[in-house]
Structure 1
Amino acid sequence: MTRSLALLLLAEFCAMSLWFVSSAVLPTLVRDGDLGPLQTGLLSMAVQVGFVCGALALSIHGTADRFDPRRVFSISALVASAANLMLTVTEPGSVAQVLSRFGTGLCLAGVYPVGMKIAIGWTVQRRGMVIGALISALAFGSAAPHGLALFGDADLHLTVGLASAMGALGGVLILGAGLGPHHTRSPAFHPKALFLMWRLRAVRLATLGYLAHMWELYAFWAWIGSALIVSFQERGLADPEPAARLITFLAIAAGAALCIPVGALADRVGKTKVAGGVLALSGTLALASSLSFAGPIWLTTVLVIAWGMAVLPDSALFSALVADAAPSQHTGSLITLQTALGFLLTAFTIQVAPMLAGAHGWPLTLALFGLGPLLGVEVMRRLARG
């Protein structure tokens, strides 16, 4: 078990490094291509839309429940790595570049939710902790492009090339992992099973909680770097980009630090209770970060990193709640559908955020990021009531 989970986590980390490549090199793309808010939003949103399309296709087909998920993961990671490389040979902001990001997201739908299907096959009692470990690997992977950009001074070819190499490595590593004793396989999938997401109250409320969480998560990850640059500029920092990149990397990676302990705590005291508490904390920190905008750099930095720590750990709990409540033979497809709906919402928030910031400023935009998790607290309260 230990070896297989370690390989799964390492493969997840490597493959998910492909996600935020365009965000990490966005200042370079903006300078080279003179991109406006619409183009920058499309580059970030394209990954989300591609992921949603891929996840919906996989959930309707029942791919994760019908085939060996390790092979699905491997093929998806390798193709995503190739699609990511197209950023280096296409014109900044062009349709071809947007399509390359769409293709990357499309293939990553075979990585993230399929990885959760593999993880839950290893345990029933410790699902919160195991999926938390997987989300932790995802967070470190998502932060990796910002670290690579910092290391390579946001050189497009270096950052994109390293991320693609990591993604391909993940596609190879996963083939060495095993499948757990609780792994189930469905010989035939009936799309009607997807309606269980609505018919089963616990699955429905867990999904609504996940949507409240996703309203904030990827918008924060995609745009906090851009917001910090503006905040530091207004505060008078001469060269804000390196500092903003470093803090963005730390904020995204910081979320990974709490995933495993929060998952373990949820296994002991209840996933619903812990998810509600984390949502409340995250929403509060979003409001605090918006109030500190253009204020003392140290205060903004502390609040943003704290927000980054709170924005992620509940993600694993919503998937674990679905795994607990859904029939085991349909778990993979229902988790994939839940993920698809969440990322469909993020496509909207990611696209709207820079336009809203351009019209009304980043402080209001950051405050609105916190609206979702605060609504999610009420959803978790209802789920806890039974």
Structure 2
Amino acid sequence: MTSIAFYGSSILSAYWNGAATYYRGMLRALAAEGYAITFYEPDVLDRQNNRDIEPPSWCDVVVYDGTVEGLKAAAARAAEADIVVKASGVGFEDDLVLAEVMKAARPDALRIFWDVDAPATLAEMQTAPDHPLRRTLPDLDLVLTYGGGDPVVSAYRDLGARECVPIYNALDPDTHHPAPPQERFRGDLAFLGNRLPDRDARVEEFFLRPAKQTPEARFLLGGSGWDAYPLPRNVHLLGHVRTADHNALNCTPRMVLNVARDSMAKNGYSPATRVFEAAGAGACLITDAWEGIELFLEPGEEVLVARDGEDVAEILKTLPDDAPQQIGARARARVLAEHTYADRAKQADALFRAHAPRLEAAS
């Protein structure tokens, strides 16, 4: 059985960790394809005290000390794997993780950098010719990203990557699906997202501005970091929402909102995990406009696209009562047919085999 050593932020906790849903969906689906996976995550940022899943059956999880010694011990185990993956945004000594993991990898191992925030990573490398990842790119077999179209692929190749391929976010229908509504989540529009510097202005425009323009409507704001943020009176703060409650949050309000970060919107082709979570639950989703949305959901039929806060307010005021349910049902059908993690895992499996033909013989 082909083994994967995957070094990332956390698979056990979604606390300040937007990649958790992606990791879980992708690795669970890769396990179903026959891979033996070990996920290595550091004990940092209080994530282990905020776990929202138990260690899964489809993946071994190694939680290592948030120290240099703990990091090096975990990195040394990369020598055991056929495929070695270093993800972006581990959250502790990322450059050292990259160096130690790739140093430990066997000469015949497939070496991959998996970027879960390509715009941020590329911005760092483009302004730093001596960036550790930039120096390492020519020695890696493959760069995978969870978003970004041609601009991201071209940028990575220009910086020295042999090949860059997007493996987009998707739906795991076993974890994100329709669920009974919960009274605490009743409202007209819900937005779930941690507060991040490069998203504040867009949250102001697409969420808080329509809240001010429709004071009779009830808005719900979930995620960490919003406690001290000035909010209109009709915006109700939920705080951190556990992954187990995401389905109810998507199913209860009339509509849910996706707001991309500035860099993701600029690059386009970067649907957030929330897009597929909401669609999988059959929610009526409003998203801010970004290039490439039509590759995933059809605007006007399976998703509502807003150019600004005025559009969001107009949708809230004029959308017929029966339309949200119909839009949500069409979105769910589309993602189940074309955008599950099982689909993405087959794409990743084909890439692994293309770049390491010996894996075919070993399987």
TM value normalised by structure 2:
0.25
Q: Which fold has the larger relative contact order, with Cα–Cα distance below 8 Å and residues 6 or more apart in sequence?
A: 1
TM value normalised by structure 1:
0.24
**By percentage of residues, which structure has more strand?**
2
